[in-house]
Amino acid sequence: MKRKIVDKFMQFLIYSSGVIICGILLFIFSYIVIKGIASLNIDFFIRLPKPVGEKGGGMVNAIVGSFILVGLASLWAVPISVLTGIYLAEFSDNKKESKFIYVLRFLLDVLSGVPSIVIGIFAYSLIVVPMKKFSAIAGAFSLGIIMLPVITRTTEEMMKMVPRTIREASLGLGISNWKTVVFVILATAKPGIITGILLAVARIFGETAPLLFTAFGNRFWHRSLTDPIASLPLQIFAYAISPYEDWHRQAWAGALVLILIVYFIILISRKILLKYK
């Protein structure tokens, strides 16, 4: 009898943890959605921030800035990590390279666990200090580093999932090695790799910590890529900890926009993956 009661009780606890996690998400979401919608207006998307203390204005520079930063980061990090992924996948059976590959894979694994704030101060000392100013380039550099381990790993895994027979068929037709890799294996693994890239993009879109001392933020339009640049998460942070009521309102509006962008990217990546599965 006692065993049955304990059993029912534990089952109840397990079921309720499923309910609790849904409740937490709902609790957080309801605030973001309700406060966000109440705070959003056209100005938010088309106006620059107003001077300190003045009401109104928007975050258009931060929204554009975020896209620029993420675009620049992808521009350098995506090719490098896909190429590295190809290398890891193609040479993993090669005896001569095995030590280098082992070390590289380990270090990339290590990199994926490094807190983003640490990557931020690294980019600061490597780029901001020599340039003597905060810049979009430094911000994009630090965001790109965060993308590296994610994309390298998915590229390698997806390429390894391509059946051997496909490679052999291509090579058997006399197609050269590199063409087989690029036009046959990479093409077959493409949906998976794109999913990985999109997930990395979704992640860096919301990153704030690595931008604090690199992109720095800007209340105006940036004049060039070597200038400080605004970004949506940075602006939300600055407004959230400010003492102004109207800025709090805009922070909620920013949060809603940010989360919609991030979820949209994740949604597309899921769609792509499901379509090709």
Rounded CA-CA distance 4/63 in Å is 57
Q: Report yes or no: 214 and 142 within 8 Å, Cβ to Cβ.
A: yes
Name the DSSP letter for residue 49: B
Q: Closest distance between other proteins and the C-beta of residue 41, in Å?
A: 19
14 binds other proteins (CB under 8 A): yes
Query: Should residue 113 be labelled a site residue for other proteins when binding is judged by CB under 8 A?
Result: yes
Scan residues 215-254 and list those touching other proteins (CB under 8 A).
233, 236-237, 240-241, 248, 251-252
Site for other proteins in 50-69 (CB under 8 A): none
Number of residues in contact with other proteins under rule CB under 8 A: 82
> Closest CB to other proteins among 46 and 241?
241
> CA-to-CA distance for 61 and 76, rounded, in angstroms?
23
Q: Which is nearer to other proteins, 183 or 220 (CB)?
A: 183
Residue type, 253: A
158-187 burial, b if ≥16 CB within 10 A, otherwise e? Answer: bbeebeeeebeebeeeeeeeeebbeebbbe
Closest CA to 233 of 139, 123, 135, 137: 139
By CB under 8 A, tell whether 28 contacts other proteins: yes
**Whole-number minimum distance, CB 104 to other proteins, in Å?**
5
Both tokens of 53, joined, read 């203390």
When asked if residue 259 is in the footprint of other proteins (CB under 8 A), the reply is yes
Q: Is residue 187 involved in binding other proteins (CB under 8 A)?
A: no
Segment lying near other proteins (by CB under 8 A), choices 41-49, 50-58, 165-173, 257-265: 257-265
